[in-house]
């Protein structure tokens, strides 16, 4: 006697959505284990005050690739819009222009085909000519569908920069540092937990202490930067990160650049040798 087995579709082949969910769970668990290891290391440093916890080797062993001219898969990172152009809209106050976002715009233009635009909101009476042309002279525009990303800057009377990516459904991202993190993520860089934490820490330090802090706080940050840049070429490791961009712009806007110590001065020159930084320097003249 023969018995015939009939397999259901679920038994024959796993549901793709379940596979995707399992992959995402595995990635989350992996990141949690990395964070746990980083926290364990920091807790040991706190429990043994005499220990000298140096993360330089951890940073340098991070498997992150240099920024390439190919760019990343925007559909994968931002979601597919079925032919609609992905459009980033930023509101910023012309009295304190977010220089780091202008540097990042230039960097993005090196990686993607960007449809750039600058507008003035009715809440602002006048905007300096150099800010109206902060994206440079726009060449003859191609059909909208040929661009990969839209980048619209609106000079508006707002207390801090605001960004929306999906205009219909997204709550605005506020703050220059947070927007800078989002824009830099579009390059597709991947960092380990320690490197990511240090980058975030430098971004916050640049915004809240170097840019908005007291003279005493600014002096302390410059000393910390000088020490870090004595070990590596950039603030975190041996390649440019969003931390360098935000910190360099904060130095420019606070007038602290001339008083910076030797390692910081050398690092600033390295930044200024890159085209996206030199283009923003023209706005400061």
Q: Where are the domains of the chain?
A: 71-186, 193-283
Same CATH fold assignment for domains 71-186 and 193-283? yes
Whole-angstrom distance, CA of residue 91 vs CA of residue 9: 50
Q: Rounded mean pLDDT of the chain?
A: 81
Work out the average pLDDT over 168-197.
90
User: End-to-end alpha-carbon separation of the chain, Å?
Assistant: 92
Q: Which CATH number fits domain 193-283: 1.20.1050.130, 3.40.50.300, 1.20.1250.20, 1.20.1260.10?
A: 1.20.1050.130
> What confidence tens digit (pLDDT) does each residue in 34-67 have?
666 655 554 443 443 333 444 544 444 454 444 5
Give me the pLDDT at residue 244, please: 98
Whole-angstrom distance, CA of residue 129 vs CA of residue 219: 34
Architecture of domain 71-186: Up-down Bundle (1.20)
Listed in order, strand segments (DSSP E) in 130-208 are 149-155, 162-164, 173-174
Chain centroid, CA 149 distance in Å = 16
Listed in order, strand segments (DSSP E) in the chain are 87-92, 114-120, 149-155, 162-164, 173-174
DSSP result, 19-68? HHHHHHHHHHHHHHHHHHHHHHHHHHHHHSTT-----HHHHHT---PPP-
Is the pLDDT at 80 greater than 50? The verdict is yes
pTM for the model: 0.74
């Amino acid at each position: 006697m023969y018995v015939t087995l009939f397999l259901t579709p679920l038994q024959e082949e796993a549901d793709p959505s379940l596979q995707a969910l399992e992959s995402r769970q595995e990635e989350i668990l992996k990141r949690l284990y990395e964070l746990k290891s980083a926290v364990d290391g920091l807790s040991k440093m706190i429990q043994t005050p005499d220990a000298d916890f140096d993360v330089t080797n951890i940073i340098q062993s991070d498997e992150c690739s240099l920024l390439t001219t190919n760019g990343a898969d925007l559909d994968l990172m931002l979601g597919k819009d079925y032919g609609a152009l992905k459009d980033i809209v930023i509101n910023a106050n012309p009295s304190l222009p977010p220089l780091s976002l202008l540097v990042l715009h230039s960097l993005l233009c090196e990686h993607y085909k960007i449809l750039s635009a600058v507008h003035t909101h009715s809440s602002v009476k006048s905007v300096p000519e150099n800010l109206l042309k902060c994206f440079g002279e726009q060449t003859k525009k191609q059909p909208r569908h040929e661009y990969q990303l839209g980048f619209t800057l609106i000079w508006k009377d707002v207390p801090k920069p605001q960004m929306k990516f999906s205009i219909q459904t997204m709550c605005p991202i506020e703050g220059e540092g947070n927007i800078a993190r989002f824009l830099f993520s579009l390059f597709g860089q991947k960092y380990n937990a320690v490197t990511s934490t240090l980058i975030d820490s430098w971004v916050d330090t640049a915004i809240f202490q170097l840019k908005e802090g007291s003279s005493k706080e600014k002096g302390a940050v410059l000393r910390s930067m000088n020490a870090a840049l004595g070990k590596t070429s950039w603030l975190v490791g041996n390649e440019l990160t969003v931390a360098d961009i935000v910190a360099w712009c904060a130095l420019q806007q606070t007038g602290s650049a001339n008083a910076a110590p030797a390692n910081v001065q050398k690092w600033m020159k390295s930044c200024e040798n890159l085209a996206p930084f030199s283009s923003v320097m023209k706005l400061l003249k």
